[in-house]
Amino acid sequence: MSVHASNVTKPVDAMNPESLPDATHEDAAKGLSAIVDHSASTSNVTHNIHAPIHTLINAHWVQSLIPGIEKLAVNYHCGNYVIVRGSNEPFFETMPLYARLGMHLLFYGKEQVKVLGNKRVDELLREQSVKQGKIYDDPKSVESIPSFIEAYSIQVDELLEPDISKYRNFNEFFFRKLRPDARPIQNEHDKNVICSAADCRLTVFVSVDVAKAFWVKGRGFSIPNLLNLPATSPIIESFQDASLAIFRLAPADYHRFHCPIDCEVGDFENVTGHFYTVNPQAVNEPGFDVLTANTRSILYLKHIPTGKLVAYVAIGALLVGSIQWTGGKQKGTILKRGDELGYFAYGGSTIVIVFPKEIVEFDADLVSNSEKPIETLVKVGYSIGKVLAPATEN
């Protein structure tokens, strides 16, 4: 299906309903909780939190929990356009049920005191995220792996361990490892090249102002808020007019994240926050802060060829149980492009990499897509840009 640029300039649904047709906030809250519980009792992932919103027309188990959800699925585009790199044809990626409910609870209560019964919305989302993590850590959850592979067309032949009976729970499969040759580094011998940090939907911006013009609409989005630092910090001064790369991981993606540059590991910080959905419809919502409000881990990397500091921000999200670092927390460690840094437990999530001003020139196709705006589907190791300050050979 051909989609003209004018049809993808708003990645959010321009007809976003003010509410679910026949449901209250309480219905949505109870529905989200019940659907998370339901994921513990069914092995078919398309009958629980993973259910694509467009499949709910005949899903009576959901309709009984959330009145009117099927009308939402019929009348509104509950998903996002994404373009596969190297293609000119955007495809429509359907939103999972849990992301739609999470956004409903946030968007349509954001101007109010967000209280549902005796719980605030942010407390509810945190509670459900922790609960879902525990469900998928349970050995019984392995029963969901076959339907997950089928629903999301997972390429089992890429896996380091292709025998799915060897995984001890669903989460272990979710943050599965790939064969060493499954994600080769493009232009590996060119030290000026920057590579993708994840299998993801990518947007890139030459500056924060450009990112806010096209993509990140939260009023509170800024580099100091993202990095949890005062505006007067020397680190923040080094990131004036910084360039950004935003890597969004969907549930189907390989969920280990990697190093985009040759670097030396620097300081590390965990920032406690919320568990809001990081779906583009949330990031693009005017006045709503996601990237600077969520739980996140920040790792500073010294880019070896230029000596410049780069900030690598792993951001948690709705139903993401945890952010785990496997190769990047030891200060002074030397890393190469493509080296593993860590993984997300269950759920889609996001990485934001902050580059100092004028250190990186992003690839033209990524810039063009981001300014439409539309995300580009890329994989770990793909070239996403080059360093403007030339690297020198050792």
Enumerate the active-site residues. 199, 258, 349
Two structure tokens written together for 368: 């063009």
**DSSP code string of 221-240:** --HHHHHT--TT-HHHHHTT
Q: Name every residue whose Cβ is closer than 8 Å to that of residue 59 and which is 6 or more positions away in sequence.
A: 47, 51, 69, 70
Task: Report the greatest alpha carbon distance in the chain.
Answer: 66
Cβ neighbours around 136 below 10 Å, total? 24
Q: Name every residue whose Cβ is closer than 8 Å to that of residue 30 and which is 6 or more positions away in sequence.
A: 65
Residue 261 three-state SS: coil
Indicate the burial class of 209 (C-beta count within 10 angstroms; 0-12, 13-18, 19 or more): exposed
Q: Name every residue whose Cβ is closer than 8 Å to that of residue 347 and which is 6 or more positions away in sequence.
A: 129, 132, 251, 317, 318, 319, 320, 321
Q: Quote the CA–CA distance of 119 and 30 in Å, as a whole number.
A: 11
Strand partners, 378: 200
Are the CB atoms for 251 and 46 separated by under 8 Å?
A: no
Sequence-ordered strand ranges (E) for the chain = 79-84, 90-94, 115-116, 119-120, 193-195, 200-205, 243-249, 256-258, 263-271, 296-303, 309-315, 323-325, 334-335, 340-344, 349-355, 360-362, 375-378, 383-387
Cα dihedral across residues 118, 19, 252, 344: positive or negative: negative
Cβ neighbours around 301 below 10 Å, total? 24
